[in-house]
Structure 1
Amino acid sequence: MHHLGVAVENLDSALATYERLFGARVEHRATVEDQGVRAASVRIGESRVELLEPLGQDTPIGRFLAKRGPGMHHVAYEVTDLDTALAELTTAGADLIDERPRAGLFGLEVAFVHPDS
């Protein structure tokens, strides 16, 4: 597992809470306009959590928060070859949100699989 993604309403508040409660250390911060998100990657021991604040209501994270409220948004698995992993998921019948890798936060390539798969 690479990280857990957590949707939050306010990134600065969430960072303060994670630092106070868990001793989280901020690794990266970024604003990605085309994804409509402000994010921070934090370390808690050997684990990594990605905190995601929407830049607006009509963004993927904004819609997630409106429907479900703050909380876990995704689990990210690290693979050696994302194209091969996507082909294997397709063969296995997974419903892919991203059929090809795309640029994610912090310089990573990502592809999302629908949670109902």
Structure 2
Amino acid sequence: MMKKLDHIGIAVRNIEDSIQFYTNVLGGRLIDRYRSEKKGVESEIAIIDVDGDRTELLMPTNNTTSPIARFIKQKGKGVHHVAYHVGDLDEALKELEEKGVRTLEGSLRINKHGRRLVYLNPMDTEGTIVEYCDYPEEYKK
């Protein structure tokens, strides 16, 4: 199955400062910014495009329940996850199951852009949070 780097998620404490760095220093362009209070997300998200490559800046909005807040408390700010675009998420999930790779319980969801995503269990990925994602037909290129 095809897998292609989709984006990198960065856990940040101050989204304004991070946006300034990615736009002013790296020359990126802010293409979207939104807040999600869904359980298991609880974050403000800014999507930056730097010459065709995307970075998601993730700032917790709830320091008690946000997984990003927990991540920052445990590991500090920095790379939170690496996302791979897969051709078909359902097929990729079957492949993971066949290989004995687990996903994080409750992480399968659809974001505001219609991207379906799931996080793989870091216990099965050498400690890195890996996201698999696919897009509805109108977003595929």
Report the TM range for the smaller structure's normalisation: over 0.9
Give CA-to-partner distance per residue, 1:36-85, whole Å, 9 cap, x none. Answer: 00001101112100000000212100000111111000011101210110
Question: Out of 80, 87, 99, which is 1:80 matched to?
Answer: 87
SS of 1:12's partner is helix
What's the offset of the Cα at 1:31?
0.3
The match for 2:31 is: 27
Higher relative contact order (CA 8 A, sep 6+): 1
Normalised by the size of structure 1, how large is the TM-score? Answer: 0.93
SS of residue in 2 equivalent to 1:112: strand
> In structure 2, do the counterparts of structure 1 residues 74 and 105 end up closer, same or farther at CA, with 3 Å as the change threshold?
farther
Q: Is the strand fraction higher in 1 or 2?
A: 2
Query: Runs of 4+ in structure 1 displaced over 3 angstroms?
Result: 98-101
Q: Does residue 113 of the first structure (1) align with residue 117 of the second (2)?
A: no
Gaps of 5+ in 1: none
Q: Name the SS of the counterpart of 2:85 in structure 1.
A: coil
Equivalent in the alignment of 1:18: 22
TM-score, with length taken from structure 2: 0.78
Distance of aligned partners of 1:81 and 1:21 in 2 relative to their CA distance in 1, 3 Å threshold:
same
Query: RMSD in angstroms over aligned alpha carbons?
Result: 1.5
Number of aligned residue pairs: 117
Flag the structure with higher helix content.
1
Does the 8 A contact of 2:58 with 2:68 survive in 1?
Answer: yes
Where structure 2 has 5 or more consecutive residues not aligned to the other structure, the ranges are 125-141
